[in-house]
Amino acid sequence: MKIAIAGTGYVGLSLATLLSQNNEVVALDVLPEKVDKVNKRISPIRDEYIERYFREKELNLRATLDYKDAFNGARFVIISTPTNYDSERNSFDTSSVEDIIQKVLSVNDESIVMIIKSTVPVGFTESVRKKYGTDNIIFSPEFLREGKALYDNLYPSRIIVGEKSERAREFADLLVEAALKEDVTVKLMDSTEAEAVKLFANTYLALRIAYFNELDTYAETKGLNTRDIIDGVCLDPRIGNHYNNPSFGFGGYCLPKDSKQLKANYKDVPENIISAIVESNATRKEYIANEIIGKNPETVGIFRLAMKSGSDNFRDSAIQGVMEKIKNAGIKTVIYEPSVKRDFFYDYPIIKDLNQFKQTCDVILANRKDALLEDVADKVYTRDVFERD
């Protein structure tokens, strides 16, 4: 079976790797360098399992810049293009998804089923079905962690497909067949409910992060031991010991934009909690920045822009909001980030030598502790109490 995948971000590339074990998979992208890397079996993103499968597995996978080459003869076209949150419109920018839908329809093959994996507003799939006059569009949420996307596809928590039909079951079976986990839970539902599952799941994760960050703010302000309080709270099995390590805020690909989108979807529905989650993240970054500003440093160093260990992604990382507030207070701010090869990140100087970075800074912000900073522990400000993501 031929499957086309539009987009080679962590969602698309992980699915391409997963499904090409048993199917012909053609990945479509607009960037020649990414297409070239995939065809040379070089992963364009950091993901241990993708890199390993590229090295060790016989994958029926190729990449192309030509959408007709990708879509012709495909049974499924999986759409995993970016849908960034547009703050002016209070909604995801779904233009890249619609662009792929239009290209698929131009191929004039009515047997192609489009599976949207990009995160979209609640009701989007139903609206584009009506707009383009086709019912061959289904939403299927992904539940993947950055840097562990293929692992999470191999051992899925659940598989949800937004249609109660044989073709939805067919697509789910492809994912189950390629997974290593046994007895995977599969749930078929309408696409609008599936869209809601995605946004509510990620907003709940954001809620947990915000909750334990606010707990930490209280403990630090009152001179209490954050770890002892969290340990005591999380020993309750109803609460559990996960997503409870304080940080500078939630960031990354999904949680900020998904929680904002869910808040926007509540436009005509009474709510308090959803708005509070979004606002809590801004409050946390303001608090962290004020703590640093209160130390009166001449130079503040940012140790890594990425939020998680083992990650090279720092899109919308919480530390960037903290940096901006510190810089606006007139404090010199520099960055140590090995994955950035330029001399500046926006207008923040990048110091590429770690020892020079340590010597230059009076205070070093580290979202997560790192052994590389042990010799300057007295300079490091972090809210990491468990030394894990």
* Cα–Cα distance, 228 to 306 (Å, whole number): 27
User: Cα separation of 352 and 338, whole Å?
Assistant: 7
For 220, half-sphere exposure in the C-beta direction (CA atoms, 13 angstrom radius) is 18
The one catalytic residue in 45, 105, 172, 254 is: 254
* Closest to 132 (Cα-Cα) out of 103, 155, 157: 103
CB 2 within 8 A of CB 73: yes
Question: Which helix (H) or strand (E) element contains residue 131?
Answer: helix 124-132
Round the CA-based radius of gyration of the chain to a whole number and report it: 22
- Strands 91-92 vs 85-86: parallel, antiparallel or unpaired: antiparallel
- Is 254 an annotated catalytic residue? yes
* d(C-alpha 330, C-alpha 177), whole Å: 56
State the Cα–Cα distance between residues 365 and 226, nearest whole angstrom.
18
Catalytic residues: 254
